[in-house]
Chains A and B, each alone.
Chain A
């Protein structure tokens, strides 16, 4: 959920001006915000499944250090979504294990 009103930071006047496709579903996002923020705003918490035990992982550090949040973005696996900005039309997939390289057309 987005923090629209804030007692210190004031109103958030940014517009959801981009659309991203997450596992086939269209989601509104703000161009330039980290992909992880857009997903969190949409209530999505599972970003990938681990290679061996298939366990869910999501955001842990939010500053690009832990690599828990990696997903497949525009066909490229292992992209740290907490430090990768949203671009309109991005295709994002929950990553299973180490992920696969794939061409997206």
Chain B
């Protein structure tokens, strides 16, 4: 069986950043991803990032992705593409498939960075062709350069809904409305302002009642909601559209962590069931680390920082860094992470993360 010092599963921003840290420390890394190309969600993100210079603010996501790929190549990270991992067995044996064949690789340490998947939403007509995830639309326009439709309704006003609406406009589509069930817009106001200036109507306290169409979407009925989130009769409104995009949140892709036997905590504000982890991003299983959306839904900048943390901690545990050196490096990453988690938007995530990490204090069972 093939062996590697560190195996990282998922080559998104978190996995790539972790790989770079370990390779930099002199470790030997194998990075596995199910896709044909590395980068995870990063290459669909064509907007300029927030944060500060240290977070590479002002640089577009896909350019950060190109830089990460260049670094992994320079540092000689071994990347296995088209390699979906289906399980983690005893003694850190990782089972994956490639070219229709089952393969295995054994690692001394594992970092899981499998990301998240989009939540669906149920309503009459929700399965009609033309109803799709916002991330799917983002993939189509920014990676494959095909418009999924011409007249679009976006459901959900978190940052993904707002950003993808803007990117649909940039790709040449019309977003006729963005609807949000909550009484307020969930994502950053600056993203909302951008699409308002472009003429997109935002309906808060509204939901989608029904999507209509024979073989694919021909229109949608939206309806106002009262304070108790009940539809208000008489406020129904038909909007002619050919596409409905759903952006109602993401859920961590945690199957592998379950299979490996990690303990979990349920944290709704982070997206659901999250593998418990400490400040080194190590789970309840010694030598198994996690990073990125899998550890709670945030954004690409924080995913990269978490990847770095996991990478540094992993390198330290392998003796590639002294405790002193590792502490110094980790402190720097934590300062950047804390900066990203300030303000009214970040605080909730910071508090949730803290609680999660507190669970590990007092020596959660390691074995």
Contact = CB atoms under 8 A, between A and B. Distances in A.
* A–B touching in complex (CB under 8 Å): yes
Interface in B94-148: 117-118, 120, 127-133, 135-137, 139-142, 144-148
B2 interface: no
A60 B118 CA distance: 10
A62 B171 contact: no
A47 B146 contact: no
Interface residues of B, number: 33
Contact of A62 (B128, B139, B150, B172): B139
Contact of B127 (A2, A6, A37, A57): A57
Contact of B117 (A2, A33, A65): A65
Contact of A55 (B127, B131, B141): B127
A39 B215 CA distance: 15
Nearest to B243: A45
Nearest to A4: B145
Identify which of B137, B142, B172 gathers the most chain A CB atoms within 10 Å of its CB. B172
B215 A46 contact: yes
Given A6-B170, A56-B215, A57-B127, A37 B135 contact: no
A104 interface: no
Contacts of A55: 127
Secondary structure dominating the interface of B = loop
A56 B128 contact: yes
B146 A3 contact: yes
A33 B144 contact: yes
B132 A62 contact: yes
Contacts of B150: 1
Main secondary structure of the interface of A (DSSP, over half): loop
Interface size class of A (residues with CB under 8 A): 20 to 34
Nearest to B145: A3
A12 interface: yes
Contact of A9 (B35, B117, B145, B147): B145
Contact of A7 (B135, B139, B148, B170): B170
A97 interface: no
B129 A63 contact: no
B135 A45 contact: no
Contacts of B216: 45-46, 56, 58
A41 interface: yes
B36 interface: yes
Interface in A1-17: 1-3, 5-9, 12
Nearest to B82: A83
Interface in B27-49: 34-36, 46
A64 B140 contact: no
B285 to A, nearest CB: 25
B147 to A, nearest CB: 5
A53 to B, nearest CB: 10
Interface in A42-69: 45-47, 55-65, 68
A40 interface: yes
A35 to B, nearest CB: 11
Contacts of B132: 58-62
Among B118, B129, B136, B150, chain A packs the most CB atoms within 10 A around the CB of B129
B60 interface: yes
A85 interface: yes
A59 B134 CA distance: 11
A10 B60 CA distance: 14
A8 B170 contact: yes
Interface in B142-191: 142, 144-148, 150, 170-172
B129 A56 contact: yes
A60 B141 CA distance: 14
Interface of B: 34-36, 46, 60, 117-118, 120, 127-133, 135-137, 139-142, 144-148, 150, 170-172, 215-216
8 contacts: A8-B170, A9-B46, A9-B145, A46-B129, A55-B127, A58-B130, A59-B148, A63-B35
Interface of A: 1-3, 5-9, 12, 33-34, 37, 40-41, 45-47, 55-65, 68, 82-83, 85
Given A6-B145, A45-B130, A63-B139, 7 more contacts: A3-B172, A9-B145, A33-B144, A56-B129, A58-B129, A59-B136, A61-B135
